[in-house]
C-alpha cells in the first residue's frame, strides 16, 4: 500500500520530499548529482520530465530511495514505462520476444512473482573472502589457507561451494591472499589481495569490487553452514541483509580459545533492523544475536556499499574508523555499522543455529569430531 501511495505522487514532488527528509539543500543536491540548481528546481516543480537513468541512480543513492520505485515514478511522469526498462529493451532486442511470450501465456500475478523470484535467485552471485592468514589455527595453516582445511574428505571451501550450488548459485568468486595458489578450483573467479598481511577483511572484500554489483552474497570463508541459511538469505528482498543467529550463546560454552567477548554481536530493533553490530561489550548491553559472516546486497545495496566504502576510505585512511584502529584494519562489521549510522536500513535475517565458525584449533578439532560421528 505504501508503494501505491508513493506512485500516486509525481517524480518531482517525491524527490523534493526525500531531499527535505534527508536535510539536503537544493543547491547541495544539484552539485552532488552534477546538474544546475535551476534544473533541479524545475524538476521538483514538474516543469521538466524525469532525468536520465544515470541521474536517477545517483538520486537513489544520495536520497536513500528505492531505485525501482524512482524509475517507476519517472516512467509515470513521461506516461510510459520506467526508463531503466526502456534502456534495457533498446539494448537487448531479443527480450521483446520473451515479453510477448509472457503476455501470450496469460500468467497470473502469482506465477509472474514466482518467475521473478527464481530469476533473482539464479542471478545472485557469491563473493567469498579467503585472504587471511588463519593465525589462530597455528600449525594447521602453516602451508595452506584455513578454507582448505579438510573436513571429512572435503575442504571447508568445497563444502561452502557445494551448499551455494545446491541453492542454485553457480557464479562464485573468491578473494585469495595467503597461500593463494593452494586455492585453485575450476569454474571459480579468483581475485587476489596482494596486501593481505597489511589489511583486514573489509579491504580484502574490495579486491573483489568488480564483481560487487547486482544481487550478491558476501561471506567469510571460515564458516560451515546449512543450505537453509543461504535460502533464508536469498528470500530477503532488502537492499542490505545480514544473517544473525539468535541462539548463539551456546556456541561459546566451553570455547576457551575464542571467548564470547570476541563475538561479532548484533543489537536490532522491533523491525529486525541493525542498531549496533560488531564486538559489542556484552557486559554493558543486551545483545540479540551474532553476525555469522554472511550478507546479501541487492543491485541498489551494492551501489550503496561501494559508494560509502570509497567515501570512508578517503576520510579514514591511516585513521581510526568505527572500532578499528585504522581503516586498513577494519572489519566488515565496521562498514555495516557505518551504513547504519548514516541511516541505511540493514535487515537481519534471523536464524537459530545451522552454522559453525572455524577460527581456532579448538574449533577445528571439535568440528572434526562431529564429522566422524
Q: What is the mean pLDDT of the chain?
A: 90
β-strand pairing of 154-155 with 189-192: unpaired
- From residue 37, alpha-carbon distances to 42, 53, 74, 320 in Å are 9, 19, 19, 36
Torsion sign over Cα 196, 199, 201, 202: negative
Look at residue 285 and tell me whether its pLDDT is greater than 70. no
The C-alpha cell that represents 107 in the structure block? 500468467
The C-alpha cell that represents 300 in the structure block? 541498489
Distance CA 272, CA 345 (A): 10
Q: What is the pLDDT of residues 92-128, one digit of tens each?
A: 877 888 888 887 888 888 888 777 767 766 689 999 9
Q: What is the pLDDT of residue 50?
A: 80
- DSSP string covering 76-113: HHTTSS-HHHHHHHHH-TTHHHHHHHHHHHT--HHHHH
Distance CA 307, CA 286 (A): 32
Q: What is the pLDDT of residue 119?
A: 72
Whether the Cβ atoms of residue 177 and residue 204 lie closer than 8 Å to each other: yes
Task: Give the closest residue to 221 by CA, choosing from 145, 292, 143, 128.
Answer: 128
Look at residue 275 and tell me whether its pLDDT is greater than 60. yes
Candidate ranges 41-50, 72-81, 87-96, 362-371; pick with highest mean pLDDT = 41-50
Q: What is the pLDDT of residues 313-359, one digit of tens each?
A: 999 999 999 999 999 999 999 999 999 999 999 999 999 999 999 99
- Kindly indicate the confidence band of residue 134, based on its pLDDT and cuts at 50, 70 and 90: confident
Nearby residues of 185 by Cβ (< 8 Å), 6 or more positions away: 157, 158, 161
Q: What is the pLDDT of residue 348?
A: 98
User: What structural domains and CATH numbers belong to the chain?
Assistant: 2-97 (1.10.260.40), 123-372 (3.90.550.10)
Look at residue 222 and tell me whether its pLDDT is greater than 50. yes
Look at residue 272 and tell me whether its pLDDT is greater than 50. yes
Q: What is the pLDDT of residue 4?
A: 47
Look at residue 1 and tell me whether its pLDDT is greater than 60. no
Amino acid at each position: 500500500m505504501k508503494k501505491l501511495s508513493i506512485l500516486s505522487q509525481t517524480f518531482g514532488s517525491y524527490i523534493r520530499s526525500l531531499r527535505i527528509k534527508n536535510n539536503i539543500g537544493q543547491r547541495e543536491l544539484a552539485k552532488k548529482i552534477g546538474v544546475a540548481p535551476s534544473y533541479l528546481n524545475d524538476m521538483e516543480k514538474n516543469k521538466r520530465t524525469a532525468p536520465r537513468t544515470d541521474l536517477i541512480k545517483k538520486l537513489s543513492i544520495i536520497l536513500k530511495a528505492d531505485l525501482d520505485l524512482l524509475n517507476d515514478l519517472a516512467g509515470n511522469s513521461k506516461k510510459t514505462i520506467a526508463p531503466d526498462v526502456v534502456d534495457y529493451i533498446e539494448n537487448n532486442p531479443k527480450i521483446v520476444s520473451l515479453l510477448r511470450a509472457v503476455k501470450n501465456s496469460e500468467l497470473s500475478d502469482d506465477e509472474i512473482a514466482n518467475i521473478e523470484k527464481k530469476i533473482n535467485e539464479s542471478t545472485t552471485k557469491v563473493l567469498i573472502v579467503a585472504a587471511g592468514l588463519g593465525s589462530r589455527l597455528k600449525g594447521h595453516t602453516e602451508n595452506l589457507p584455513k578454507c582448505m582445511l579438510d573436513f571429512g574428505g572435503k575442504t571447508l571451501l568445497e563444502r561452502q561451494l557445494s551448499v551455494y550450488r545446491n541453492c542454485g548459485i553457480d557464479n562464485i568468486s573468491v578473494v585469495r591472499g595467503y597461500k593463494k595458489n593452494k586455492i585453485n578450483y575450476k569454474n571459480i573467479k579468483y581475485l587476489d589481495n596482494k596486501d593481505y598481511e597489511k589489511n583486514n577483511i573489509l579491504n580484502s572484500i574490495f579486491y573483489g569490487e568488480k564483481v560487487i554489483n547486482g544481487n550478491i552474497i558476501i561471506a567469510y570463508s571460515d564458516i560451515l553452514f546449512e543450505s537453509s541459511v543461504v535460502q533464508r538469505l536469498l528470500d530477503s528482498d532488502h537492499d542490505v541483509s545480514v544473517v544473525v543467529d539468535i541462539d548463539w550463546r551456546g556456541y561459546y560454552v566451553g570455547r576457551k580459545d575464542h571467548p564470547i567477548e570476541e563475538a561479532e554481536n548484533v543489537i536490532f530493533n522491533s523491525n529486525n533492523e541493525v542498531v549496533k553490530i560488531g564486538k559489542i561489550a556484552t557486559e554493558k548491553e543486551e545483545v540479540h544475536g551474532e553476525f555469522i559472516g554472511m550478507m546479501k546486497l541487492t543491485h541498489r545495496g551494492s551501489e550503496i556499499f561501494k559508494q560509502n566504502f570509497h567515501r570512508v576510505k578517503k576520510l579514514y585512511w591511516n585513521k581510526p574508523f568505527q572500532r578499528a584502529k585504522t581503516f586498513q584494519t577494519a572489519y566488515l562489521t565496521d562498514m555495516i555499522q557505518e551504513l547504519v549510522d548514516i541511516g541505511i536500513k540493514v535487515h537481519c535475517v534471523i536464524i537459530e543455529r545451522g552454522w559453525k565458525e572455524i577460527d581456532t584449533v579448538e574449533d577445528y578439532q571439535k568440528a572434526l569430531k562431529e564429522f566422524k560421528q
